[in-house]
Structure formats: C-alpha cells, structure tokens
Amino acid sequence: MISPRIDQRIAQICELGCTRVTEIIIILEQGQSTPETDDLPETERALVLDELKAIMAVYNTRKDGCR
C-alpha cells in the first residue's frame, strides 16, 4: 500500500502533464532523481516510479493517448 505522502506526490507529478511524467520516468529508471523526487529516499522514489509507469501504461493503451 502506498502512503498518503507518496500518493500526494504522484498526484502532483501527474498534474505536470504526460510529457513531464514521461521524462521523470526515464530519469528515475536511470537511477537518478528529479526536482520532484529529490527529497524522497530511494525506496520511495522506486514506489513513485512504479506507480507512474502503471498510470502511463493506462494512457498508452487508450485510443486518444495521453494529453
């Protein structure tokens, strides 16, 4: 289960839009951090990455994609 703090962070990141979310995913996959995740420990950054990837997977399968 994701903590309310991580859930809130994910919501804030998603508000930045699909392009930025995709950029953040790529950066986190490389083991780096972003301004949006700098204050999180590595374990929480991994949770954020997993959730962002799951969210984007839904958008990528939709006919209208991510806007």
Give the burial class of 11: count Cβ atoms within 10 A of its Cβ; 0-12 exposed, 13-18 middle, 19 or more buried: exposed
pLDDT at 1: 73
Give the burial class of 45: count Cβ atoms within 10 A of its Cβ; 0-12 exposed, 13-18 middle, 19 or more buried: buried
Domains of the chain by residue range: 4-61
Predicted model pTM: 0.88
Summarised one tens digit per residue, pLDDT across range 9-46 is 999 999 999 999 999 999 999 999 999 999 999 999 99
* CB-CB contact of 34 with 7 (8 Å): no
